[in-house]
Amino acid sequence: MADPVRLTFLGGLGEIGRNCACLEIDDRILLIDCGLMFPDLDMPGVDLVLPDFTWLRDNAERVEACVLTHGHEDHVGGLSFLLRDLSFPIYGSALTLGLARNRIEEAGLLDRTELIQVSDNERRRIGPFDVEFIPVAHSVPHGFAIALHTPQGVILHSGDWKLDLTPVDGRRTDLARIGAISVDAGVRLLLADSTNAEEPGHTRSELEVGAVLRGLFAERANQRIIVACFSSHIHRIQQIADAAVAQGRIIATLGRSMGKNVQMARDLGLLRVPDANLVDIERVGPLDPHRVCIISTGSQGEPLSALALMAAGDNKWVKVGEGDTVILSSHTIPGNEAPVGRVIDGLHRLGADVIHSGLAEVHVSGHAMQGEMKTLLSVARPDYFVPVHGEFRHLTHHARLAMAMGVAADHVLLCEDGDVLELGDAGIDFAGEVPAGYLYVDGIVGDVGTGVLRDRRVLSEEGVVVVVVTVDARSGEVLTGPEIITRGWVYAPEAEALLDEARKVVRANLEEAAVSGVCDVESLKRHARSALGKFVNERTKRRPMIVPVVMEV
């Protein structure tokens, strides 16, 4: 009889983002990733969304460490918030730690953690946890799958991965090691990336993008070329740089994270660009356009990014125009179509030629598709399977795939954020729930709260009507007002008559209330709000936010 182990999912099961799973052995907790999520369009003013850390905060002294699969924000971006309340060491590859470090440093929290570098195939004891870091290919270099050797057998977490057989750095997903574990100890439980579970076939190799880019560069030998991609996609940057260097172009980076990551990847020996081919963006001005290649951030249309500013003609260093080619070497994340569309329109308006993944194969996914998922399932041969990293439909498709591959239906568990699993001698079972709602962050303020968000939605969709009135403290009699101020409700000049009427309605209602003895501020506010709300709704069929301000004198 071995002690059971527990797994708690704080995020990533039901959305793409804020990935965070917790393994418990001997009362200690090991975090696997701690990510953030970028907000949807229906979250006005929200900068990012975090996992609910309540459970971790309540168990702060039990947290042993965090192991990172790779350096994407949806896996490391939550650390700079969690480290405000907790202190623990973080394990990951050199690049992963470098990417994670940026935000933690900005938040001034480096002293709350120790960043511990691990190498490919290293196996480490971290408290009661026996953790093995297995190389996988992904859209950021040096990602890991993580094998957790527990008293209840091996739990294998795929991380974000794809089966790229010709990766740019030659570092393939180590299927051989996964197969060896499967043969030796066996994989008791597999947790695997579900992002592309609806896509049949195999994700193409990153190397194919390089060939397409070289072709585009060759066709446009006389033009200035600007390429936008994710700043953590070092392999993509390498291929852009290779295409540029082959033509003798000088490369400049644009966007803060692009500059930082290129520097870091060069320092780590992960990116090879000759010194002679790299200059600061301030120095590209005088160069011949056809000798220049600019690698920029902003491929998701982010409003203040280098590319968005270029498209608006607002970039300090680069004025885009006739004869420029802009390549968006990226896939538009669902929800970002509108801002990306605006950027593409803006660039066209300035006379540039724009190439994106809808026109040429300038991007491939970093995630496994069905064919690769099947390969992993057949190599790992897990006893139990839990799909992770995806929206509910991705998890569902991945679960079906596992069953089709022979995992027993009652050994496939469809879990959601907040679920707790217990793996024991007899098998695996649900063992409760912990809070796992969205934590909305605006600026640096922790939780905006669903109330604030609801208010923002009403404000953005219906506007606001404020009514201000002064009353006598003793009698409740209306002394001045009501004044009505509106924003976003009706066009004021045309609505004078309507506002007049609204004033009369509120005044009459308050006078009536005063006569019946209501004179405290809170009750009068309630009266004002309901009278005005009813009037507004009846006359305009709208429901703006009603804010009553009642002052006593």
- Helices within 405-495 (DSSP H only): 449-462
**Residues contacting Zn ion: total by CB under 5 A:** 3
Sign of the CA dihedral with 510 first, then 515, 521, and 523 last: negative
Structure tokens at 143: 């990602």
Q: How many C-beta neighbours within 10 Å does residue 505 have?
A: 19
Spell out the long-range contacts of 486-495 with Cβ–Cβ below 8 A and sequence spacing 24 or more: 486/544, 487/463, 488/459, 488/462, 488/463, 488/464, 488/544, 489/462, 489/463, 489/464, 489/465, 489/536, 489/540, 489/542, 489/544, 490/540
Do 375 and 174 contact (CB within 8 A), yes or no? no
State which residue, 53 or 144, has the beta carbon closest to Zn ion. Answer: 144
Q: CA angle, corner 25, sides to 19 and 31, nearest 5?
A: 20
Q: Which of residues 160-179 bind Zn ion (CB under 5 A)?
A: 160
Question: Which one from 367, 394, 397, 527 is the annotated catalytic residue?
Answer: 367
Site for Zn ion in 134-163 (CB under 5 A): 160
Are the beta carbons of 386 and 183 closer than 8 angstroms? no
Q: Is there a contact between 132 and 149 (Cβ–Cβ < 8 Å)?
A: yes
Measured from the CB atom, is 17 or 481 closer to Zn ion? 17
Structure tokens at 503: 């004033």
Give whichever of 33 and 132 is closer to Zn ion, judged by the CB atom: 33
Q: Which is nearer to Zn ion, 50 or 545 (CB)?
A: 50
Catalytic-residue membership of 345:
no
Nearer to Zn ion, 20 or 469 (CB): 20
Q: Is 193 a catalytic residue?
A: yes
Report angle CA 393, 173, 396 to the nearest 5 degrees.
Answer: 10
| Of the candidates 153, 240, 43, 77, the residue with the CA atom closest to the CA atom of residue 428 | 153
In the bound state with Zn ion, the residue whose beta carbon lies nearer, of 74 and 372, is: 74
First to last CA, the chain: 75
Which residues, in sequence order, are bridge partners of residue 384?
189
Q: Which residue's structure tokens are 């650390």?
A: 79
Measured from the CB atom, is 160 or 206 closer to Zn ion?
160
Cβ–Cβ < 8 Å for 484, 467: yes
Catalytic-labelled residue, pool 193, 324, 417, 442: 193
Residue 266: strand, helix, or coil = helix
Site track 44-83 with Zn ion (rule: CB under 5 A), x = hit: ----------------------------x-x---------
Nearest C-alpha neighbor of 323 from the set 289, 281, 357:
289
Catalytic residues: 193, 367
Residues that bind Zn ion (CB under 5 A): 72, 74, 160
